[in-house]
Amino acid sequence: MKLLIPLSALFFIGCSSAVKNPTKAEIEPDRVVSRIDELSSRPDWLKESEPFRIEKGSVVSTGMTTIPASDRVEAAYRIAQNNAKAAIAGAIEQKLEFILQNAEEGTSINATQARYIGAEASNLVTSSIRPGKNYWEKVATTQDSGERLTQYKVFSTVTMPEDEFKRAIFEAIKKAQGKGGLSKDFAKKVDAHWDKFVENNQPAQESK
């Protein structure tokens, strides 16, 4: 004897067995469970919207990483610091392109040249970089699958004197000029528009 199952029953069985991901409205927002030193809020020096800035004669670069709540925060500090160092080269590229777009004359710099100068200057300032401040917060967050997960969000800064940073950039520009493709007055234009370089007008970039 054959057992006949109505199509409607099969439909309901299929629907009940399917995994339903939560909608955006159903996802519980991130919640900070705890912070370093039992702080009630983030410290003033942590400016996530300005990961690279120059203030009071110092360059400050901020790096961020996330780790599972079961991992050691101390190890994450090193990762965040390395991300902060890596962000310096990218910030130089962005700011060089920005100030030259706003220069009076049509001095141009292509992406390859900007990338070379950023990387070279970043290498030159390695010895001047010093560890800055550290901060962590334990956050309960919701994954796309709907699973609730607790993790550490870790921030670290690195700093260096602005004058050493500026000197490294001009040394990198000289090397780039030696390779050709840059005008002889390129460094003069950067120097003349250094105030625009110092301005914190670049979009934030999150590192992981």
Local confidence band at 23 (pLDDT 50, 70, 90 cut-offs): low
Share of the chain above pLDDT 70, in %: 75
Q: Over 90: is that where the pLDDT of 144 sits?
A: no
Question: The whole model's pTM is what?
Answer: 0.74
DSSP secondary structure string for all residues of 114-179: HHHHHHHHHHHTGGG-EEEEEEEEEEEEE-TTS-EEEEEEEEEEEEEEHHHHHHHHHHHHHHHHHT
Average pLDDT of the residues in 156-177: 89
Q: Per-residue b/e over 22-53, b at no fewer than 16 CB within 10 Å?
A: eeeeeeeeeeeeebbeeeeeeeeeebeeebbb
Local confidence band at 65 (pLDDT 50, 70, 90 cut-offs): very high
**1 is a domain residue:** no
Total domains in the chain come to 1
Per DSSP, helices labelled H in 2-45 are: 7-17
- Residue predicted with more confidence, 108 or 199: 199
Give the 3-state secondary structure of residue 31.
strand
**16 is a domain residue:** no
pLDDT of residue 107: 56
Average pLDDT of the residues in 134-161: 93
**4 is a domain residue:** no
pLDDT tens by residue, 68-85: 999 999 999 999 999 999
**206 is a domain residue:** no
**Structural domain that includes position 187:** 39-136+155-198
Q: How far apart are CA 97 and CA 42, in angstroms?
A: 32
**144 is a domain residue:** no
CATH code where residue 184 lies? 3.10.129
pLDDT tens by residue, 132-143: 999 999 999 988
Local confidence band at 204 (pLDDT 50, 70, 90 cut-offs): very low
**103 is a domain residue:** yes
